[in-house]
Amino acid sequence: MKTLSRIYNVIIFGLLYFPIIMVIVFSFNSARYTPMEWKDFSLQWYEKLFQNEEILNALSVTLQVALISTLAATVIGTLAAIGIHAMNRKLRRVMLTINNFPMVNPEVVSGVAFMLLFVALAAVLPVFKPGFFTLCIAHVTFCTPYVVLQIMPKLRQTDGRLYEAALDLGCTPLQAFFKVTIPEILPGILTGALMAFTMSLDDFAISYFTAGSSAQTLSVTIYSMVKRPVTPEIYALSTLLFGTVFVLLLLANIGQVRDISRRSKRARR
Amino acid sequence: MKDVITLKDIAVSFDGETILDGLDLSIHDGEFVTLLGPSGCGKTTTLRIIGGFITPDRGDVFFGDQRVNNVPPHKRQVNTIFQRYALFPHLNVYENVAFGMRVQKKKKAEIAETVEKMLALVNLKGFEKRAVSTLSGGQQQRVAIARALANNPKVLLLDEPLAALDLKLRKDMQVELKNIQKSLGITFVYVTHDQEEALSMSDTVVVMDGGRIQQIGTPTDIYNEPQNAFVADFIGESNILDGVMREDYKVEFFGKEFRCVDFGFEKDEPVDVVVRPEDIDIVEPEKGDLIGRVTNITFKGVHYEIIVDVKGFKWMIQTTDFHAVDSVIGIMIDPQEIQVMKKSEYSGLYGDYSSFSEEFDGLADPEAENGAAQ
């Protein structure tokens, strides 16, 4: 039985990670074309990658969009979470369902919807012509629900009397918010921001429909590159992307684990 | 004496449920006032109105001569000690105590001096750098006291501050709180459901039930001269009997006339009569004013608690002598031990120990009740 479960685990994790490992391995291969066969270890694809204007451009767009949308989504999400938390139970449930919907909605549908919206708006307001700005708006929109979802549990754990205690000790409502509420939910805000950043880096479908030709993200660029013969440059790029997202998720998880152990320590007293 | 806080005709309701109903209360400067009552009586709501966390639907709140109905909490010169302390978990002990002064932008040296003074006052010297999560319940309680007092409030509001502590610690903290109040001369408004705590600490006790004040008085007044059956029953043990006031200083119950010290009732007015279990003398059956049969006896340490059936009414009597079950005894009551009260909505609800039994006693024990509530 034990062996069986081990084999099962190996198969599952193999299926999950083998393709990615292949990509990583072959990004260091000196041979150019498929069928894949290992020749020598080489960093030439990484060198080429960093000389590729198109990719560097896309990378810079991706990072800018990710930073801007993370910042905006974190602020909006934090305020939204606090507002939702203050609602009565029924309304809160409705709001959370509305919040969760974009996360389960097929991304292609969201992407098409955004495109339609922006095209319609652009007819009246030229800023909404697909490009960097629309890309940012779309990213803020789909990142915000993740932030809300990370902060809600922190708010539930926080003692409501803390805010009142701050008021009692002379804080204005705004001071109490920054001095007490924010520090209390900070771990949630940080994980929320990390999630938003990862989601923004990760996104393809919505970016594809909202980016236009002027501002392309990495994932959209890779997609267009794949139409031509695939070069190991793409493996190198994929490896870097995977590494970045992996590290970010790891950070988010470590943060959560730390927070949980701190909470349980506090609860034991 | 000067009034620091006056509540006039306060009414509050939540979701159509009346919490406070025409409450009038004046709190004198430097006084230790306790709001005492069962849960849901409106005592915490009253405290939150003074703190500014609830705006009453009707009525006025005055601090001195100034109406403060619309003054937000942070502009009120009162500080609160919350039920579960509400210490800031992201700050250490020093920063918790310094919190109020930092908000007021006090000078560093002044803050350091006050924090040191406050921590000394609550016996927490050397705990400055500790995280509040590493403190015991009693220590957290002390930090909460120091934090509130560091703001130099005119009035300190305390919302069941000792409810989460165990019995021994609670008794110690009662004494300590009382000492702090005396030495600083600050007005304390204290909320509790523990009658013993209220009697031992307060200058004035305000007994509340159903959103209304039932009686205001000194602890001895409240205990010795309860004004209605609710107060008599809630504070200590009481035998509450149906009686008729025949004339001044004469009250009749169980078909027998007793001399008493009460007067000013209508002739033949129906009344409630209270006799405390410890104020009853047990004598030979033939010498007693009333005769009864012992149905139950419980050893309580300092005394026995016996239940005596007198013509179907069960009395509780506390005595240092043992009386076997089924023995017949005589009861004698001194005139000054009889407290006559006007009839009220609470008449007939309390004061008969018919349902009393030993297993029931465990439930009626306030300690056991506290334990269950937590």
**Are the beta carbons of B100 and A269 separated by less than 8 Å?**
no
- DSSP β-bridge partners for residue A44: none
pLDDT band at B360 (very low <50, low <70, confident <90, very high): very low
DSSP string, chain A: -HHHHHHHHHHHHHHHHHHHHHHHHHHTB---SSSP----B--HHHHHHTT-HHHHHHHHHHHHHHHHHHHHHHHHHHHHHHHHHHS-HHHHHHHHHHHHHHHHS-HHHHHHHHHHHHHHHHHH-GGGSSSHHHHHHHHHHHHHHHHHHHHHHHHHHS-HHHHHHHHHTT--HHHHIIIIIHHHHHHHHHHHHHHHHHHHHH--HHHHHHSTTTS--HHHHHHHHHTSPP-HHHHHHHHHHHHHHHHHHHHHHHHHHHHHHHHHHHHH-
Asked whether residue A141 carries a pLDDT value surpassing 70, the answer given is yes
Which of A164, A169, A259 is the mutation pick for testing B, counting most B CBs within 10 A?
A: A169
Q: Is the pLDDT of residue A165 over 80?
A: yes
Flag if A162 and B53 touch (Cβ within 8 Å): no
pLDDT in tens, B8-40: 999 999 888 889 998 999 999 999 999 999 988
**What is the interface pTM, i.e. ipTM, of the complex?**
0.79
pLDDT digits (tens, 9 = 90+) for A214-244: 788 888 888 887 777 777 888 888 898 889 8
| Ramachandran sector of residue B19 (left: φ over 0; alpha: ψ -120 to 50; beta: rest) | alpha
Cα A136 to Cα B178: distance, rounded to the nearest angstrom: 61
Counting residues of chain B whose pLDDT is more than 90, the rounded percentage is 59
Helix (H) / strand (E) containing B144: helix B137-149
Residue percentage of chain A with pLDDT more than 90: 43
pLDDT at B149: 92
How would you class B333 by CB atoms within 10 Å of its CB: exposed for 0-12, middle for 13-18, buried for 19 or more?
buried
Q: Which helix (H) or strand (E) holds B352?
A: none
CB contact under 8 A, B79 and A162: no
- Whether the CB-CB separation of B156 and A168 falls below 8 Å is answered with no
Mean pLDDT of B221-249: 90
Query: What integer pLDDT is reported at residue B359 of this predicted model?
Result: 41
Is the pLDDT at A267 greater than 70, yes or no? no
Confidence of residue B365 (pLDDT cuts 50, 70, 90): very low
pLDDT level of residue B150 (50, 70, 90 thresholds): very high
- B-proximal residues of A, 7-66, CB under 8 Å: none
- What pLDDT sits at residue A154? 92
Interface check A168 vs B, CB under 8 A = yes
What would the two tokens of residue B229 be? 């059956």
What value does the mean pLDDT take over residues A92-113?
90
Categorize the per-residue pLDDT at A45 as very low, low, confident or very high, splitting at 50, 70 and 90: confident
Find out whether the peptide bond into B38 is cis, omega within 30 degrees of 0.
no
Mind giving me the DSSP string for A15-28? HHHHHHHHHHHHHT
Residues of B in contact with A176 (CB under 8 A): 74
Q: How many CB atoms lie within 10 A of CB A47?
A: 12
- pLDDT tier for residue A49 given thresholds of 50, 70 and 90: confident
The pLDDT of residue B356: 58
Burial of residue B33 (number of CB atoms within 10 Å: 0-12, 13-18, 19+)? buried
Amino acid at A222: I
Query: What are the backbone angles phi and psi of residue A190, rounded to the nearest 5°?
Result: -65, -45
Burial of A250 (0-12, 13-18, 19+ CB in 10 A): exposed
**Quick check: A171 pLDDT over 90?**
yes
pLDDT of A268 > 60? The answer is no
Q: Would you place residue B366 in the very low, low, confident or very high pLDDT band (cuts 50, 70, 90)?
A: very low
Give the nearest partner residue to B82 out of A165, A183, A265, using CB atoms.
A165
As a whole number, the mean pLDDT across chain A is: 87
pLDDT at position B20 is: 92
Q: How confident is the model at residue A139 (pLDDT cuts 50, 70, 90)?
A: very high
Question: Looking at residue A39, what is its pLDDT?
Answer: 78
Lowest mean pLDDT segment, chosen from A31-45, A144-158, B133-147, B299-313: A31-45
Q: Return the minimum-mean-pLDDT range out of A17-26, A226-235, B71-80, B289-298.
A: A226-235
Assigned token pair, B7: 């509540």
Q: CA of A106 to nearest chain B CA: how many angstroms apart? A: 40
Do B97 and B47 touch, CB atoms closer than 8 A?
no
Do B83 and A161 count as a contact with CB atoms less than 8 A apart?
A: yes
Contact in structure between B327 and B293 (CB atoms under 8 Å) = yes
Helix (H, G, I), strand (E, B) or coil at B101: helix
Chain A residue with CA closest to B152: the answer is A169
A-chain CB neighbours of B52 within 8 Å are: 167
Give A34: exposed, middle or buried? Use CB within 10 Å, 0-12, 13-18, 19+. Answer: exposed
Backbone angles phi, psi at A236, to 5 degrees: -60, -45
Q: Find which of A20-34, A47-61, B198-212 is predicted with most confidence, using mean pLDDT.
A: B198-212
pLDDT band for position A125 (50/70/90)? confident
Closest of B138, B187, B127 to residue B161, by C-alpha:
B138
Residue B9 has a CB neighbour count (10 Å cut-off) of 13
Q: Is the pLDDT of residue A260 over 80?
A: no
Give residue A80's pLDDT: 95
A262 contacts in B (CB within 8 Å)? 133
The pLDDT of residue A269: 47
Q: Is B302's pLDDT higher than 80?
A: yes
- Residue of B74, B83, B104 for testing the chain A interface, max A β-carbons within 10 Å: B74
CB spacing of A170 vs B100 below 8 angstroms: yes
The two tokens of residue B253 are: 């119950």
Q: Pick the residue with more confidence: B62 or A54? A: B62
Q: Which residues contact A148 (CB under 8 A, 6 or more apart)?
A: A77, A80, A81, A84, A96, A99, A192
Q: Supply the pLDDT for residue A148.
A: 95
Q: B336 and B276 in contact (C-beta within 8 Å)?
A: no
Site from A164, A168, A186 to mutate, B interface, most B CB atoms within 10 angstroms: A168
A173's tokens: 């409502």
Using alpha carbons, list the distances in angstroms from residue A140 to A76, A245, B215.
Answer: 9, 18, 60
In terms of pLDDT, which residue wins out, A76 or A216? Answer: A76
> Could you tell me which residues are beta bridge partners of residue B252?
B244, B257
In this predicted structure, the answer to whether residue A84 has a pLDDT above a threshold of 70 is yes
CB B23 within 8 A of CB B193: no
Q: Mean pLDDT across chain B, nearest whole number?
A: 88
Q: Given this model, what pLDDT does residue B362 score?
A: 42
B357: closest CA of chain A, how far (Å): 38
Q: DSSP E strands: which ranges in chain B?
A: 3-14, 17-28, 32-36, 58-63, 66-67, 78-81, 155-159, 187-192, 204-209, 212-217, 239-247, 250-253, 256-259, 269-275, 280-283, 290-299, 304-310, 313-319, 328-333, 339-342
pLDDT digits (tens, 9 = 90+) for B95-127: 999 999 999 999 999 999 999 999 998 889 999
Inter-chain CB proximity B79 and A167 less than 8 Å: no
Q: CA–CA separation, A266 vs B94, rounded Å?
A: 18
pLDDT at B369: 41
Is the pLDDT at B364 greater than 70? The verdict is no
Instruction: Go through the domains of chain B in sequence order and give each one's CATH number.
Output: 3-222 (3.40.50.300), 237-373 (2.40.50.140)
Q: Which residues pair with B8 in a beta bridge?
A: B60
Domains of chain A by range and CATH? Answer: 58-268 (1.10.3720.10)
Q: Which of B74, B86, B90 sits opposite A161 (nearest CB)?
A: B86
Record: contact A269-B135, CB cut-off 8 A: yes
For residue A36, what pLDDT is reported? 65
Whole-angstrom distance, CA of residue A140 vs CA of residue A151: 16
Only one residue has tokens 């409630």, namely B272
Query: Between B93-103 and B137-149, two packed helices, what is the crossing angle to 10 degrees?
Result: 20
B254-298 per-position pLDDT tens digit: 888 899 998 888 889 999 999 999 999 999 888 888 999 999 999
8 Å CB contact between B237 and B276: yes
Mean pLDDT of A168-195: 92
